[in-house]
Amino acid sequence: MTLFWIITAAMILAALAMLAPSLLRTRQLHSLDRDQQNVVIARERLAELAAERDQGTLDQAQFEQAKGELERSLLSDLDQQSELAAPAGTSGGGRLALGIVALFVPALTLGLYAYLGTPDLVEPRNPALAAAHERGGELPSVEQMVGALVERLKQNPEDTNGWYLLGRTNMALKDYAGAAAAFETVHKLVGDEPSVLLGWADALAMNANGDMRGKPTELIRRAVKLAPEDTTALWLAGMAEEQAGNPELAIAHWERLVPQIQDDPQASARIAALITNAREKSGRSAQTLAAAPEVASSKPTIAAGRGVTVRVSLSPELSGKASPDEAL
């Protein structure tokens, strides 16, 4: 921590050192700007005199005389400006400005760091990080970090974000039982949230070697009702319905997912394969589905075997108003 504050102080002093010359030489820089303006004006006037000489308005003697007067006037202006210019470091206004900057730059820097920065890294509140500092900066292992998180949750059992983080961490560590328990705790605190339901279902299924039947399917169905366009919910819902023996529902979920993942070739190919597999299980094929509207719109076929013969006739009052092509 001491090293951090030493570096901070050195950086602030370096910033002040860069600002000081500019603040103390304000009047001198102003004088230099005025000198440059006088030189530019003199050059423009000299160009005008040369043009008048070339046009014949002035002869060479008059040109030389005007040029000499212009040079003497420029030298006089430069001398006056140099006498008025205060030496660097003698400007009272510059010293005042430097004092203000020296006071407020450190205060502003430390204030902004306290508000926007991460002071906990200087003096860590996390016991695992504090122990790492005591060991000379060696970072704790993932298991130690998880242990520290568990201890913190024991002290604050209603920390929703902490429990959710524990669930995601346990999933990454393949501790599926621990992840399921963590997500269940989050659910008790926040109720039916799609991300919580899906995380819980995923953990339960992974803990059962990928079997999504039962509780995972129930949780996923609830998540789909809450977030019917969520990509993760649709993906898992299709898998759950397929395992539950509902390939038609699985296809419906995955087909709703297709437009949302069209920019991901790998995911699109995976979903296309799942849909094809589900169609094969349901006895449908892509050709059968495409031909379905034609079958529905075609003329009915006459069944073979026994049937019922019906004779339809119109009354004499209506027979003259109906044509032979009209359906009855």
Task: Please state the domain extents for the chain.
Answer: 2-82+92-116, 157-285
**Alpha carbons 208 and 213: distance in angstroms, whole number:** 10
What angle separates helix 92-116 from helix 2-24, to the nearest 10 degrees?
Answer: 150
Q: Which residues of 269-279 are buried (b: 16+ CB within 10 A; e: fewer)?
A: eebeebbeebb
Taking CB atoms within 8 Å and a gap of at least 24, the contacts of 204-211 are 204/176, 204/180, 206/171, 206/174, 206/176, 206/179, 207/176, 207/177, 207/179, 207/180, 211/243
Q: What is the pLDDT of residues 84-105, one digit of tens each?
A: 444 444 445 556 665 666 666 6
The residues, ordered by sequence, that sit 6+ positions from 258 with a Cβ below 8 Å of its Cβ are 268, 271, 272
Q: What is the mean pLDDT of residues 136-164?
A: 80
CA dist 235 to 104, 254, 278, 301, Å? 56, 6, 13, 40
Q: What is the pLDDT of residues 235-285, one digit of tens each?
A: 999 999 999 999 999 999 999 999 998 888 998 999 999 999 889 887 754
157-285: CATH superfamily: Tetratricopeptide repeat domain (1.25.40.10)
The answer to whether 214 touches 229, Cβ cutoff 8 Å, is no
The answer to whether 146 touches 166, Cβ cutoff 8 Å, is yes
Q: What is the pLDDT of residues 10-44, one digit of tens each?
A: 776 776 676 666 655 544 444 445 555 666 676 77
